[in-house]
Amino acid sequence: MSESNTIAASTADQNGAVPGEPVKKDENSRRGNWGNQIEFVLTSVGYAVGLGNVWRFPYLCYRNGGGAFMLPYFIMLVFCGIPLFFLELSFGQFASQGCLGVWKISPMFKGVGYGMMVVSTYIGIYYNVVICIAFYYFFMSMTNLLPWTYCNNPWNTPDCSGVLGSGKQFNATLANATTSLVAGVTEVVNRTKRTSPSEEYWKHYVLNISDGIGTFGEVRLPILGCLAVSWFVVFLCLIRGVKSSGKVVYFTATFPYLVLTILFIRGITLDGAINGIKYYLTPQWQKVLDAKVWGDAASQIFYSLGCAWGGLITMASYNKFHNNCFRDSIIISITNCATSVYAGFVIFSILGFMAHNLNVPVSEVADHGPGLAFVAYPEALTLLPISPLWSMLFFFMLILLGLGTQFCLLETLVTAIVDEIGTDWIIRNKTVVTLSVAIVGFLLGVPLTTQAGIYWLLLMDNYAASFSLVIISCIMCICVMYVYGHKNYFRDVEMMLGFPPPLFFKVCWRFISPVIISCIMIFTVIQYKPITYNNYTFPNWSLGVGFCMAMSSVLCIPIYALYKISRSPGATFRERLKFACRADPKWGPALQEHRTGCYAPLVSEDTVESRPLKEKEELKEELREELKEDETERKDDISLTIQGSNGSTNTHNSPNPSA
């Protein structure tokens, strides 16, 4: 890197603008940029902090040793989570391209980008169904009495036993409510089998669940309507791409923290809350020696940060070139993990209160996934005064957490399509692409609103975006570090940020993170169990469908690699392979003003003549200096490479792909 280049990069300010450059609304006028860096950080936080932070992490924590689980969790964050997050952010920001365009770094591996698109498609389909169910519960909470409070509804069975009794004795007085509560608890204790009204409301009314995954039954029209509302909201927020979503995240990424805080304050003031929190945090240090605990910690870090979905690369591609994505990666990763820990206090304080009222251990009311969000927690909320208010707040928080992730999933697909086609028409009509993707996503989500929808949702959640993500991430690390070359990539990052990646991150990228990812892969295979839902065991044919979904994203990688090799020039397979791995001449910064050093275009008399007068004279002077230096070097027999004051070199087009 030349001296002028180093100075320009090192003086990049905090919001991505470079001092001395003219102030522009957008650095990249063709693709657009974030309005400011706060928008990028909030969008990335909203992307990383999703439903899993609320309904999965607290459950994993108490199941794997409480407070002792925090040790492997934060170790995995430091050695795997933050380095991979930084790798993907720097990858997308350097090239200013989505998950397909960045693979000019090594065209043979473009299948990794297609795999990311397939994964984002699967997740986007079922994730919005979960959001639409949260919308439904939110709307149904707009009442004086939550419909899952009592067992006197048409959908209830004889096994139903509510915490607040049957509901026949209910009236608005506090005395009768207290009497009903005592009667309900007595009834629960005396029963050998209990089905909560919230569980029956979920199964028999909201889902009207069928006997199995192959029995679709009817479409649940209320859920279908909420799905349409959910996709419409996502489309409206992305109607102008990052320009509109960047404004929306000021609310969607921050308001959940306000709701979490309100629920936390309410939760810790309840009887039995301290027991729930103790159950959540009490360390069982012997479990630290259990390999499964470390596997769960690594998996949770990997999946909760959204690595290998393509979203991080896409969001970073709209940054200004000199933005400090190293700082952003640390802020976002730590915020994500801190949110998970904080959400655990919110969840278990309420569950502790519920266990106290039922006179049962916390473990009997603790749950995760949809069971926590739509059964256990809603039932606990019925015990609170003004329960509809708390229910509305809780489900509104789930909606916002889900939308933050869904924005990025849809933008990932839209950006990949627009960047790949790249015509002026498609860029001008990006809104049409966004609408088209949203409509297709809605139509593909319709089967998940049928009576068998919950089975398909769980199948997609367990297979479509689990094992395949690990493979995609591992291949991405290998490609960048060993095919393109770690020295080349470190040079690129230094050119962009003004400083090289810290030594710790260099070691993690090359050795530690790939090893951890490989261990997660092995752990996932060893720990594999066929999926079940309550007492329902999924049939073998459905598991086959699940494996096909999982492999569909992974198979994109070898299929495209073989295609690229077959289309590459060369007399032998080795020559074709070498050419397919070599970086594309267009690889590098997207804007000409940033293509310096080894990416700078060669200067010739022909190109000089087409420049403005002032710039023409400067380029001619540089050309004369280069020719003079070249003559000196030839005389001294030192080098045949021409390198001028602008840092250009005649070997710039194809960085050495070797490590």
Q: What is the pLDDT of residues 336-388, one digit of tens each?
A: 999 999 999 999 999 999 899 888 888 888 888 888 899 999 999 998 999 99
Tokens for 19? 């001092």
What's the average model confidence in pLDDT over 606-619?
47
Query: What is residue 308's predicted lDDT score, i.e. its pLDDT?
Result: 93
Bridge partners (DSSP) listed for residue 195: 160
- DSSP state letter for 536: E
Residue 46, marked binder: yes
Q: Distance between alpha carbon 222 and the CA centroid of its chain, in Å?
A: 28
- Supply the range of the domain harboring residue 509: 37-154+195-567
What's the average model confidence in pLDDT over 7-36?
61
Cβ atoms of 432 and 235 within 8 Å: the answer is no
Q: Indicate if the pLDDT at residue 630 is higher than 60.
A: no
Query: What is residue 36's predicted lDDT score, i.e. its pLDDT?
Result: 94
CA–CA–CA angle 237, 119, 560 (5° rounding): 120
Residue 357, marked binder: no
- DSSP state letter for 537: E
Q: Indicate if the pLDDT at residue 135 is higher than 90.
A: yes
Query: What is residue 626's predicted lDDT score, i.e. its pLDDT?
Result: 54
Query: Which of 590, 610, 492 has its CA nearest to residue 31?
Result: 590
In a domain, residue 612? The reply is no
Alpha-carbon radius of gyration of the chain: 28
Q: Which of 168-172, 212-216, 452-456 has the lowest mean pLDDT?
A: 168-172
- Taking only the tens place, the pLDDT of each residue in 281-300 is 889 899 898 888 888 898 89
In a domain, residue 597? The reply is no
Residue 583, marked binder: no
Tokens 């070359």 — which residue? 485
Cβ atoms of 152 and 168 within 8 Å: the answer is yes
Q: Indicate if the pLDDT at residue 181 is higher than 70.
A: no
CA–CA–CA angle 455, 459, 461 (5° rounding): 115
Q: Indicate if the pLDDT at residue 7 is higher than 80.
A: no
CA distance 332 to 419: 26
In a domain, residue 291? The reply is yes
Phi then psi for 599, rounded to 5 degrees? -95, 0
Query: Which of 650, 234, 651, 189 has its CA nearest to residue 410?
Result: 234
Highest mean pLDDT among 152-166, 359-373, 477-491: 477-491
3-state secondary structure 86-120: HHHHHHHHHHCCCCCHHHHHCHHHHHHHHHHHHHH
Count of domains in the chain? 1
Give the model's confidence band at 602: pLDDT under 50 very low, under 70 low, under 90 confident, else very high.
low
Phi then psi for 410, rounded to 5 degrees? -70, -40
Burial class (CB in 10 A: 0-12, 13-18, 19+), 236: middle
Q: Indicate if the pLDDT at residue 658 is higher than 50.
A: no
Which DSSP helix (H) or strand (E) runs through 532?
Answer: strand 532-533
Query: What is residue 367's predicted lDDT score, i.e. its pLDDT?
Result: 82
CA distance 128 to 133: 9
CA distance 412 to 432: 15
Residue 172, marked binder: no
540 residue type, one letter: N
Query: What is residue 562's predicted lDDT score, i.e. its pLDDT?
Result: 97
Query: What is residue 617's predicted lDDT score, i.e. its pLDDT?
Result: 55
Instruction: State whether residue 450 is helix, strand or coil.
Output: strand
In a domain, residue 347? The reply is yes
Query: What is residue 164's predicted lDDT score, i.e. its pLDDT?
Result: 73
Query: What is residue 631's predicted lDDT score, i.e. its pLDDT?
Result: 54
In a domain, residue 638? The reply is no
CA distance 162 to 195: 8
Query: What is residue 202's predicted lDDT score, i.e. its pLDDT?
Result: 96
CA–CA–CA angle 114, 446, 454 (5° rounding): 90
134 vs 284 pLDDT, higher one: 134
CATH of the domain at 445: 1.20.1740
Give the model's confidence band at 652: pLDDT under 50 very low, under 70 low, under 90 confident, else very high.
very low
In a domain, residue 325? The reply is yes
Bridge partners (DSSP) listed for residue 536: 533
Query: What is residue 438's predicted lDDT score, i.e. its pLDDT?
Result: 98
CA distance 388 to 394: 10
Residue 36, marked binder: no
Give the model's confidence band at 627: pLDDT under 50 very low, under 70 low, under 90 confident, else very high.
low
Query: What is residue 162's predicted lDDT score, i.e. its pLDDT?
Result: 80
Q: Which of 172-186, 313-327, 375-389, 599-613 has the lowest mean pLDDT?
A: 172-186
Query: What is residue 187's predicted lDDT score, i.e. its pLDDT?
Result: 41
Please give the share of the chain, as a percent, with pLDDT higher than 70.
83
Q: Indicate if the pLDDT at residue 470 is higher than 80.
A: yes
Q: Indicate if the pLDDT at residue 441 is higher than 80.
A: yes
Q: What does each C-alpha distance from 616 to 20, 389, 598 come to in angstroms? A: 21, 69, 22
Q: Where are the alpha helices (DSSP H) in 238-290?
A: 242-252, 255-268, 273-281
Query: What is residue 371's predicted lDDT score, i.e. its pLDDT?
Result: 87
Query: What is residue 415's predicted lDDT score, i.e. its pLDDT?
Result: 96
Query: What is residue 177's predicted lDDT score, i.e. its pLDDT?
Result: 37
What's the average model confidence in pLDDT over 87-112?
97
- Taking only the tens place, the pLDDT of each residue in 526-540 is 888 889 898 899 999
464 vs 647 pLDDT, higher one: 464
